[in-house]
Structure 1
Amino acid sequence: MYRALPYKTKQFFFVLIKLSIVIGAFYFIYNKLTTNNDLDFTEFIEFLHKNNVFSLKNVIFLIFLSLFNWFLEILKWQELVSSIKKISFFEAQKQSLGALTASLLTPNRIGDYGAKALYFSASYRKRIVLLNFIGNMMQMAITVLFGVFGLYFFITEYQVDFSFLRVSRFLIIISVVSILSIFGLKQKRFKIKGFSIEKVIDFIKNLAIRIKVSTFVLSLLRYLTFSFQFYFLLGIFGIEVSYFHAMVAITSMYLLASVIPSIFIFDVLIKGSVAMYIFTIVGVNEFTILSIVLLMWILNFVLPSILGSFYVLTFTLPKNKTA
């Protein structure tokens, strides 16, 4: 039906879709910033001024950390794609930031897979989805690795009291999920992102060791970067805590927040709730931690998505023969 439409009509609908994505993303960002029941935006700005967050030194360093964070993510994507097609850093940047904006409203950033795949011709798209999956799983592996150790030290350090009933329920859920996962892995029909588990495993096995190692290292560096940015903000807001104890809380927060499915635009709400629980035990007041979580969201997702909106608006479908 789409193919039967006149060329100008197709172009009109294509532009309309791109405008809808950008306008939708901007609207939800604006709505989140101005209608937050837990954190009034005016009070948030006043709090930032009071703590000298807008000083030239702080602004430059915070933006540098955000730029470095996304530099590593873009470099990781360029490295992954190089296994099937060489692309420039600028192309990787367009794809990463454009996909960020396009996936902003989708649950767990699922739209990122389709958005990145659209930058390539049909012959590459299945492999692009798998490469994106590998990159995300590498980042998740780092989050889980640090998070497990962090949560262990957090529980033992602060003697967190968990009720037996809640722990039992949690263990039962984990056990059921594990059993179903093991059973599913043995089934040929079990699929990840539309691919059989066998194809996913074969694809990962055939990926060059250099790419696997570099992707893991870049994921690690990225995790350390935004974790340090969180720690730096704690210092700006006058929270006196050692780097070790801060990282124990930060890694625990990212682990717990990452296992909760959500629409990406509400990721800040989930991290805010988890962060309040974790850092209240540490001794940080709720308003301070909510301000830090919101500022982290603005620096690492809102600002890049604004740049990504330009790439969405200027996006053109690739030609099958050359892309």
Structure 2
Amino acid sequence: MYKRIQNQANFHSSWDVIKQSFLGPKQWMFWVVMALSLVNWGIEARKWQVLVAPVQHITLWKAFKAVLSGLALSLFVPNRVGEYVGRILYMDEGNRLRSIALTLIGSVSQLIVTLVAGIGGLIYLRSYVLTEGRQLQGLSAFWFDGMLYAIIVGTVLLLLVYYKLSRITSIIERIPFVSKYSFFIQKVETFHWKELTNVLMLSVVRFVVFTAQYLLLMQVFEVHIGIIDGWWIICVMFLVLAIVPTIPIAELGVRGQASLQLFGLLSTNTIGIIATAAGIWGINLILPSLAGSLFILSIKLFRK
């Protein structure tokens, strides 16, 4: 009985803290975070619009609807595979399968940015945060360094593949049992290194936007961590989310645990850390997915 009363008291106390954060002088930051969510997915829409241009010209608004529809379909699928299905619904017949390879380029570019930023975050943690009194639970210095080197090697290889896509595609097309399906990947060959760099830069801007969202929401919930420390820890957290396979609808548990492990190194505000993780998950994933589900309902899957 005592534990039950104590848990209820803790719940009400936590709720009061969150409510005060929303009603406090920093509440404007919350609305900025909401606005940045539109910017975030708008950049992703622009990136997809650029990628599918060799196959089909689409408007930015149509690309935006496609991105949100893909997000809605990916909620219950591991690693957001459903995003590809949702997006190709907005392509014309005959272009849908060809657009999948182009969409994959966008995902690879975002992964590269996440990995590079995550490497910087890991190096920063190793150099300035992890001390004798601060260690990540269950991860020794040996395994930490081993993981860092493995990620660096993997990122370099991925970058090489990214900038050699046209050559790799032309080689793949020569394989006998693949050649008859080369129609689906031919447009990948048209991407010049400058275009690939532009896509990569859009991914960088998008990464900066949702990192800024996290920093702002941390301020709303009184998680007092320096901007530089917070920035690099967020980079590591996004790296973890990129590496660990999850279903988006269940991602909150992984996101919350990673946040507690990482931000807990510098802050004791557990409630604020969890609230920030849940807030970002809801604002950047759940709300856009709800909007995307409405767009899906308006699609005519079969015109004939």
Q: TM-score, normalization: structure 1?
A: 0.72
1:42 to partner: Cα distance: 7.2
1:214 to partner: Cα distance: 2.6
- Farther off after superposition, 99-108 or 277-286: 277-286
Amino acid corresponding to residue 248 of structure 1 in structure 2: W
1:108 to partner: Cα distance: 0.7
> For the structure 1 residues 52 and 188, does the alpha-carbon distance in structure 2 shift closer, same or farther, using more than 3 Å as the test?
closer
Q: Does residue 89 of structure 1 match 2:73?
A: no
- Distance in 1 of aligned mates of 2:275 and 2:303: 45
Corresponding residue for residue 99 of structure 1: 70
Within the candidate set 37, 43, 52, 1:66 is matched to: 37
> For the structure 1 residues 285 and 124, does the alpha-carbon distance in structure 2 shift closer, same or farther, using more than 3 Å as the test?
same
1:169 to partner: Cα distance: 8.1
Q: Does residue 296 of structure 1 match 2:280?
A: yes
- Distance in 2 of aligned mates of 1:131 and 1:146: 24
Give 5+ residue unaligned stretches, structure 1: 1-39
Describe the superposition over 1:34-83 as per-residue Cα deviations: whole angstroms up to 9, x where unpaired.
xxxxxx99776543211135876234312111111111111111121212
C-alpha RMSD of the superposition:
3.7
Within the candidate set 245, 251, 254, 2:235 is matched to: 251
> Could you say what secondary structure the match of 1:104 adopts?
coil
Q: Does residue 163 of structure 1 match 2:140?
A: yes
Corresponding residue for residue 262 of structure 2: 278
- Farther off after superposition, 122-131 or 203-212: 203-212
1:279 to partner: Cα distance: 0.8
The 5-angstrom pairing of residues 107-256 of structure 1 reads 107-159=78-130, 161=135, 162-163=139-140, 166=143, 203-256=187-240
Describe the superposition over 1:189-247 as per-residue Cα deviations: whole angstroms up to 9, x where unpaired.
9x9xx999x99997544214453233212111110011011111122222333221111
Amino acid corresponding to residue 250 of structure 2 in structure 1: F
Within the candidate set 17, 40, 43, 1:47 is matched to: 17
Q: TM-score, normalization: structure 2?
A: 0.76
- Distance in 2 of aligned mates of 1:76 and 1:42: 43
Native 8 Å contact 2:73 2:86 kept in 1:
yes
- Distance in 1 of aligned mates of 2:143 and 2:183: 38
- Distance in 2 of aligned mates of 1:118 and 1:140: 24
- Farther off after superposition, 262-271 or 138-147: 262-271
Native 8 Å contact 1:231 1:243 kept in 2:
yes
- Distance in 1 of aligned mates of 2:207 and 2:179: 28
Percent of counterpart pairs with the same letter? Answer: 24
Within the candidate set 3, 22, 28, 1:57 is matched to: 28
> Could you say what secondary structure the match of 2:104 adopts?
helix
Amino acid corresponding to residue 154 of structure 1 in structure 2: L
> For the structure 1 residues 195 and 147, does the alpha-carbon distance in structure 2 shift closer, same or farther, using more than 3 Å as the test?
farther
Native 8 Å contact 1:44 1:291 kept in 2:
no
Amino acid corresponding to residue 163 of structure 1 in structure 2: S
> For the structure 1 residues 115 and 52, does the alpha-carbon distance in structure 2 shift closer, same or farther, using more than 3 Å as the test?
closer
Describe the superposition over 1:135-193 as per-residue Cα deviations: whole angstroms up to 9, x where unpaired.
11111111001110111111221225443674598589989x99xx9xxx9x969x9xx
Corresponding residue for residue 161 of structure 2: none
